[in-house]
Structure 1
């Protein structure tokens, strides 16, 4: 395979020759409808005793008597096409469990017991919660706790409606994109083993290396995106503890990053905010999160979801004899022509931002901007410091590294990197996106084909490699 030019860039006609590719606006993601919910006080069976607890989020159907009292306020459809209903904002987000008519199927009934705030977010906060299941033991407990935890992104409707058009991060688009990706992949993953709710969901997410929702819920005040809780924190934090990764460690995590980007590309999604901070670690895997700035890439033929799935096959893959997540592969090589995307504004984190996104003057390729960010991620993992502060010519390191002097600079700094590692970094971080390697080319690069540690060789929590 050649490594001299981007083999996947729109407008390529062969041997490094490109014609001007048409640019269009991004597509809209299919609308999603969160299920109505309420924050309640209820009785649960927890640690071999029954207790009355607050802050339990439960899916609901408002009963007839309550709907009659509340009148038209019981169903409040927002201009975004989301239903923000089911709980009254007049009584501090709590109501008695007896006022709620629950979902019909007891096998699917679950609730979320909020424990604490993990961190603040742009539109609200992220909560840690315990997954509850319905209890039918006749002991006055309505729910029982499980050993499964989840993270709930709580976003205020008032803040969303006030700030959505002013900020680059769009929570409505984020949940729509996550649901779209989940729908695309979940039918393709074999599911023949009985597993707990969160465990089963984690299995499908780790196959794609993309975080998708367990539930989308809404009440009068908040939109809730319920996701698995990743025990390992951010990959950035793991790198910070180690200062930098060895080349085998960096290759291990890079394979997961690239698998996630590959699965985003298959669904036609450009993330636009790829970073170490947006990679969460769980057990031996990493998940891409925060799709609030993502775009749906326009293509010549946008196939329906069912047609796309018919053209994909699920394959279990290994790299150098070690595990690798199950990935979807095209049943045939043909794929719809991808358009460039018209400028959509400067967004993302400065050090990961590609020069075309930074300048925001010309159409850009959704695949190329994510692969640029992957190159910066790899640079950080191998060196322990960012390549530059901003992707602009006033930054001296950016100016010289992207002009072809990256290998020379890293060699002079005596960082001990292999020639293959430095060559890959240079080829991912050229100024012109037509000169950068595509995903397929990066995976075929000699550095990526070298040995990879197994999950058992990665020390839990510390990120070290034995």
Structure 2
């Protein structure tokens, strides 16, 4: 395979020749509607006894008068499809107490018993919860606890309304993107054996290496995104414990990162914030999380590549017939292409940010910026330190590494890396995205084709392998 140019860059016509690709704004994700819920005190069957517990999040039903009253406020619904759960608390307080009747939905088979705060988040916090299932034993307990745990991202509607347009991370887009990806892949995992709720969901997610929601719920104060709880923490924490990974270990995790990126690409999603901190470990797998900065890549669905090239190269063809005749005939029957994306602002973590996102001046390719971040992730795993502080020419290491001197610098530092590993890093981290390797090329690189540890060889919790 040819490794001298990006084989997947928009406008490629073959043999490293590119034509100018059109740029567009990203697409909108399909709107999603969170289901109504409440935090209740209820009786549960737990550890062979019945207990009354607080902080149980459960889907609810609202009496008809409340539903009618809410319906009259539909003009306050957000443009993203989220209804009056995001309306102001002042409007809710104005309703008479006897107009509000909220009860647990008797059709709902599960609920979530909140245990503690795991960490703070931009729009709220992440909670640890135990999954409850409906109990029909007739012993005055509505629910019983299970051995399954989940993480609930609790985001305050007030904070969302105040900060959403000011920050790069958008929680509404995040839950919409996660639901879109979940719907896209939901039918791909065969449901051929009975499994617990969270276990079945993990099976699906680990196949794609992308975190998707179990539930999306909302009350008048919070939006709740319910996800499986990953026991292994961040991949960054594993690397921090080990200082750096051996090449086989790095290859093991890199294959999972690339599988996640491949599945994002299939759904037309650009993450824009890929990092070790946004990779959670569960058992022997890694899941991509935090899609708050992602974009829905615009795709060319109707116009053929032939028509595009004829429109964009007509003048050049007239002036130089040899150029037009050199376009491969196979290009005219190529699959639909994606557009470049118009600048959307500087966002993400500095060391993972691609130079085109950092500059925020020209259109960029959604696939290329995620693959750049994957290159930085691989660099961190193999060396234990970041390649640079920022993706700009005032950073000397960035300037020289992206200009083609990365192998020379790593060799001089005597880090003991193989020539194939250093070659792959260089080819993923060139300044011009048209010079970087595509996902397909990275997977075909000689370093990626070398032996990989099995999941059984990876030591759980330590990040090393036997």
Same fold (TM over 0.5): yes
Cα deviation 1:18-67 (Å, max 9, x = unaligned)? 11110000001010111111111110111111111111100111134766
TM superposition shift of 1:328: 28
How far 1:70 sits from its partner (Å)?
8.8
- Normalised to the residue count of structure 2, the TM-score between the two structures is 0.88
SS at match of 2:43: strand
| CA spacing shift, 1:95–1:166, aligned 2, 3 Å | closer
Do the aligned partners of 1:230 and 1:281 also contact (CA within 8 Å) in 2?
yes
CA distance in 2, matches of 1:55, 1:239: 35
Could you list the per-position Cα deviations for residues 396-451 of structure 1 after superposition, in whole angstroms to 9, with x for gaps in the alignment?
Answer: 00000000000000000000000000000000000000000000000000000000
Quick check: 1:58–1:112 contact (8 Å CA) kept in 2? yes
Q: Does structure 2 conserve the Cα–Cα contact (< 8 Å) formed by 1:345 and 1:360?
A: yes
- 1:465 Cα deviation after fit: 1.2
C-alpha change, 1:278 and 1:307, in structure 2 (3 Å) is farther
Q: Any conservation in 1 of the 2:313–2:324 contact (CA below 8 Å)? A: no
Q: What displacement does 1:15 show?
A: 1.1
Structure 1 SS opposite 2:55: strand
Cα offset for 1:229?
A: 0.3
Larger Rg: 2
Q: Say which SS state the counterpart of residue 244 (structure 1) adopts.
A: coil
Kept in 1, the 8 Å contact 2:112–2:130? The answer is yes
Instruction: Indicate how the Cα distance of structure 1 residues 168 and 22 shifts in structure 2: closer, same or farther if over 3 A, else same.
Output: same
Cα separation, partners in 2 of 1:329 and 1:149, compared to 1, 3 Å: farther
Q: 1:104 to 1:369 in 2, by over 3 A?
A: same
Aligned-partner Cα distance in 2 for 1:271–1:94:
41
Q: Secondary structure at the match of 1:410?
A: helix
Could you say what secondary structure the match of 1:257 adopts? helix
Helix, strand or coil: the match of 1:421?
A: helix
Q: In the alignment, is the contact (CA less than 8 A) between 1:38 and 1:93 conserved in 2?
A: no
Deviation of residue 191 (structure 1)? 1.0
SS of alignment partner, residue 273 of structure 1: coil
Question: CA 1:16 to 1:78, structure 2 compared with 1: closer, same or farther past 3 Å?
Answer: closer
Give CA deviations for 1:231-277 in whole Å, capped at 9, x if unaligned: 00000001000000000000000000000000000000000000000
Q: 1:161 to 1:240 in 2, by over 3 A?
A: same
- Segments of 5+ residues of structure 1 without an aligned counterpart are none
Report SS of the residue matched to 2:326. Answer: strand
| Partner SS for 2:133 | strand
> Deviation of residue 315 (structure 1)?
45
Q: How many angstroms does 1:335 deviate by? A: 3.2
Aligned 8 A contact 1:41 1:97 in 2: no
Q: Which moved more, 1:61-70 or 1:263-272?
A: 61-70
TM-score (norm 1): 0.88
Alignment of 1:44-443 (within 5 A): 44-64=44-64, 77-85=77-85, 109-301=109-301, 335-443=335-443
Q: Is the 8 A contact 1:320 1:451 kept in 2?
A: no
Give secondary structure in 1 for the equivalent of 2:314.
strand
In structure 2, relative to structure 1, the CA distance for the partners of 1:154 and 1:13 (3 Å cut) is same
**How big is each residue's C-alpha offset from its partner over 1:269-328, in whole Å with a ceiling of 9 and x where there is no partner?**
000000000000000100000000000000111899999999999999999999999999
Change (3 A) 1:219 1:116: same
Residue number in structure 2 paired with 1:446: 446
Judging changes above 3 Å, is the alpha-carbon distance between structure 1 residues 249 and 361 closer, same or farther for their aligned structure 2 residues?
Answer: same
Residues 66-116 of structure 1: CA deviation (Å, up to 9, x unaligned)? 668999689974453213449997999999999999999978511000001
1:274·1:352 contact (CA, 8 Å) conserved in 2?
A: yes
CA distance 1:325–1:58, shift in 2 (3 Å): farther
The answer (yes or no) to whether the contact 2:13–2:328 under 8 Å persists in 1 is: no
Q: 1:322 to 1:119 in 2, by over 3 A?
A: farther
Q: List runs of 5+ in structure 2 lacking aligned partners.
A: none
1:322-365 alpha-carbon deviations (Å, 9 max, x no partner): 99999999999953211100000000000000000000000000
More displaced stretch, 107-116 vs 277-286: 107-116
Counterpart-to-counterpart distance in 1, 2:362 and 2:190: 42
How far apart are the structure 2 equivalents of 1:195 and 1:278? 27
Quick one: distance in 1 between partners of 2:108 and 2:196?
Answer: 12
Give the stretch that moved more between structures: 432-441 or 328-337: 328-337
What CA deviation, in whole Å up to 9, does each residue of 1:142-188 have, x standing for no partner? 11001000000011111111111110000010001000000000112
C-alpha contact (below 8 Å) 1:186/1:204 kept by paired residues: yes
CA–CA distance in structure 2, aligned partners of residues 393 and 4 of structure 1: 23
How many pairs are equivalent? Answer: 466
Distance in 2, Cα, partners of 1:432 & 1:456 = 39
